Structure 1
Amino acid sequence: MRHCWTILCLFLLSSLSLTATHTPASFLDPIKDQILAVRGSATVFDVLPQRTASEAVLRVGLVEEPLYGSVAFFGTDSMEYRPREVDCGQTDRFIYFVETSAGRKEVEVFAEILCESLTILSGFSPDGDGINDTFTILGVENYPDNRLTIFNKWGEKIYQARGYQNDWDGTDEQGRPLYQEDGLFYYVFEDGLGKTFSGYVQVKR
């Protein structure tokens, strides 16, 4: 009888130990993410930052809605955040969950809402990780007749596109990677409505 009681005690202690070390998914710290958005324009991004190749997304959904905009999911791969036109200069926040083959995760997003209708980012890193891989001009979709021209440090034109759609990945028009010591290239962006923007963009490899 004493032997049976000892086994029962060990079983109960083992159960208590397992219960004490288990952390429910809802109490795990969410993944932090930051995005830039132009008022009234959509910013599209991957639902799971830095996902592994073997990690399949099964289901996504909102946990906390944004205060200054709206969120839409495109299947289980990508999503968009669209701030309202009147709320520029604010920082919005929302949380969504992602259920994958590896378990449930929550992502907390902080969205900085820019007031300018067109914002040209100063650099990108075309390393194939799905994050900041191309030269991005926020709000470019509002200027369909735009033209982008890229020059190297010797003033030679190396890339040009009409109706640019944030897809230059640091290659020339034949798709060959471009290299410079400092990674700086000069751009000229014409919005198609009479305004021209120019400056330097850094390609970090």
Structure 2
Amino acid sequence: SAGKNIGVNPLPVATIALSDNSGTNTYDGILCVGDVAILIANGGINYLWNTAEKSREIEVSKAGDYSVTVIDINACTHFAQITIEVKEIPSLNAGPDDEICGTAYELQASINSGIGQWSSPSGNKLRFIPDINSERAMVNTDSYESFTLIWSSVDSYCPASDELTLTFVEPPVAFAGEDQQLNGRFETTLEAETPSIGVGSWSLLSGYGIPDDLQAAQTRVTQLDKGTNLFVWEVQNGICSASDTVALMVSDFFIPQVITPNGDGKNDFFIIDDLETHAPASLLIYNRWGNPVYSSSNYQNNWEGISDKGDKLAGDTYFYALQYANGKVFKGFIVIKR
């Protein structure tokens, strides 16, 4: 009988190449949730995956064993398998953006697994107490500016980070000036310190008075009430504010009711307290019948019971009308005793 030759074809060599850029190590078959890997079969001309796909390359994102049957030109087959692992990405939050009045802030980060770490492009301008791994670290700075802080996972295969912006605002200083004692004066000058930062404004806390300019540190105030008038000087710089209070205390000024012009140096003159602060003040003296006996358009606390004619007025009760430069008028009586 004639012999028959039988040919034996070698089996194809099936391999699976992996392409993944996920996690801290690439091409290792370990993915982070949401990432994909590309599996590439080699060694044949036709391919059949256990996912029922028949292309040479497939994309996968789920954990599991992936196998492929490789078929060569001679219809010979071979098998290859690869395992894909999927890891969770840590859930973390750096906390809300915030503005801070001052130079210290307690951070409010969170992380559901592993260790977090703070960092900032600003480098050593920030200090973290007790350390950079504390979710509730106190962050301190010497600079009034905005900083970006990054909260990152440091021990997870799948990296994650979140960031926030903190703006540190310099607190202003407010000084409303020294308290003032005003004897019979119903106006004065508010004398706050002009702030080096921020914008100031006046407001009335109690009493009464009308400042000329509510935004001026130094400004005239009029129509004060008798007693204590309290004004607040508040300085605002962004979210920061400071305030101080000044008391303007208006007391009744003293107008004597008796003068004794006998040359002994005691009560010789009709003297009005703080007259110079209301100058020029006019004074008119009348006798009991309403006839003027003395007048001055710029009184100098120098009337000693002498009439406009230069005569000594008799001991008696007289009446006066005193008008300040601001138009305020005071009326009363004065007794001359000789």
TM-score (norm 2): 0.26
Q: Which of the pair has more CA radius of gyration? A: 2
TM-score (norm 1): 0.42
